[in-house]
Chains A and B, each alone.
Chain A
Amino acid sequence: MLNLIAISISAILIENFVLVKFLGICPFLGVSKKTETATGMGFAVIFTMTVASALTWLVQTFILEKLHLEYLQTIAFIFVIAALVQFIEMFLQKKIPALYSSLGIYLPLITTNCTVLGVAILNVSRGYNFLETVVYGFSAGVGFLLAIVLLAIIRERMEYADIPAPFRGIPIVLIAAGLLSISFMGFQGLNLPF
């Protein structure tokens, strides 16, 4: 149990996927203009990552490892994740239209997002068991949500700031993201008591 909490805290803060591992920068910068859409994207990522972690762990353990085909990991994972996202999208559209209308447009964006692939591959390389994998995938998603919402809030604030002309637009966003990342690096010193 303590192990799971440690995995979760480390995935959210200490090795935040966006701000420390620098995965998923594209949606991080692209969809962080408004807090509302950033939140939607964040929840979609949590959802996809959790399910994708579980599924890729199954594929890895019961297909690839049994047949000694670990080197096909990347291509097989991309395959499975892409199909999974497609399936989820169809399923949501039919069964839970309310959730689809809030997450729907973000789902295709995540199809082969590097955060999702990254979490799947990290699970394998760290030798997590099934439960740990699911917890790690979920927490990595929460970390993404935290990062993207923080940046979105900063960007909304900056809308009204008098920014020097050369920094307007993306440059100031990159600077803000960098500072955010530096502050998250501070969690490196966090010693978990278990």
Chain B
Amino acid sequence: MNVFLQILIAVAVMAAIAFIVGLLLAVAAKKFAVEKNERVEQIEQLLPGANCGGCGYAGCSAYASAVAEKGEAPNRCAAGGPSVSAAIAAVLGVESETETKMRAQVMCSGARGLAARKYKYTGLEDCYSVAKLGNGPLECSFGCIGLGSCVKACPFGAMKIERGVAVVEYEKCKACGICVSTCPRHIIKLVPYDSDIWVGCSDKNKGAATRGYCKVGCIGCGLCAKVCNSGAITIEDNRAVIDYTKCVGCGACVEKCPRKIIWSGKDQVLFGDTVQNMMSAKKAAQSVSEKQPPQKPAETPTAEVPERAAVVSAPEKRETDRLSEDEET
């Protein structure tokens, strides 16, 4: 009997504590209720919730309250894209301006073995630190350093380093623009998502200088500008620049470019293989030219690689790998 009494007391005490605590919390919830703007919650629901900061606010909820209470524009969320801004605009009851979907693009193809290096770097794995050491390890002061500051900064994991150059995985890219502002070289740009064509060089130096230190640098020859029917390509600061509002994606420039640095393709990740192909072709061309004098010297660098999907045969691949290892360490 005594045992039952004890159990009863224990249950009663716990129940009493629970009841009092519950009552207190219920009263507190009423008393300390904070009126939240309904729109803020609605908008926050619509946002992706990645808290990438691409809109310029501390996170999605900060942006949501700015939209609802301070009249911020509904189309600042790059990660959500046009569908989200339309939905937010619907909540607010205003018209949204349609925007084209964008993606980031690293405007450099100077992979290991293609762009000359001034020195070998070991130290902090950070582009900013290296950029301060004699303007970076590359001869080219506009080339990708490849230590991945953008990779670390990307909130969506859409970037990686491929053979010493940062590349964007387009499908993951939300065009938040954080990599654009992170890159100490300022060579990452936002381009329309649907556009395939991009110039893989940002070098502003004269063609002769570029040719001296980079096998994939734009020499500003202007052949692409001439061949472009829609007038989308201009030569600015000794390099080709595409105006994406005019570009129709015909690909004439891709074919024409003597340096093969106007790229086309949905995924820049392919670029690593492409570079390997180019290097092996170059090796092959060199070994040929050593045996017999070149007949057309102007064509030798990339003459044999118009087909970018060419399969690399095993021995050639090993050779290029060895080359890249030399460069790496």
Contact = CB atoms under 8 A, between A and B. Distances in A.
A63 B17 contact: yes
Interface string B110-130: 000000000000111110010
B125 A160 contact: yes
B32 A90 contact: yes
Contact of B9 (A67, A83, A93, A159): A67
Contacts of B24: 83, 87
Q: For this complex, into which size category does the number of interface residues on chain A fall?
A: 20 to 34
B34 A94 contact: yes
A169 to B, nearest CB: 13
B125 A162 contact: yes
A85 to B, nearest CB: 11
Residue of A75, A83, A95 ringed by the most chain B CB atoms within 10 A: A83
Interface string A11-40: 000000000000000000000000000000
Interface size for chain B: under 10, 10 to 19, 20 to 34, or 35 or more residues?
A: 20 to 34
A91 interface: yes
Given A87-B24, A94-B33, A160-B129, A80 B124 contact: no
Contact of A72 (B14, B29, B122, B129): B14
The majority secondary structure among interface residues of chain A is: helix
Contacts of B124: 160-162
A79 interface: yes
A69 B13 contact: yes
B25 A87 contact: yes
Contacts of B10: 69, 72
Interface string B242-275: 0000000000000000000000000000000000
B28 A90 contact: yes
A93 B32 contact: yes
A185 interface: no
B21 A80 contact: yes
A76 interface: yes
Interface of A: 59, 63, 67, 69, 72, 75-76, 79-80, 83, 86-87, 90-91, 93-95, 159-162
When A and B form their complex, which 3 residue pairs have the shortest distance between CB atoms, in order from nearest? A94-B32, A83-B21, A160-B124
13 contacts: A63-B17, A69-B10, A69-B13, A80-B21, A83-B22, A87-B28, A91-B32, A94-B34, A160-B124, A160-B126, A160-B129, A161-B125, A162-B123
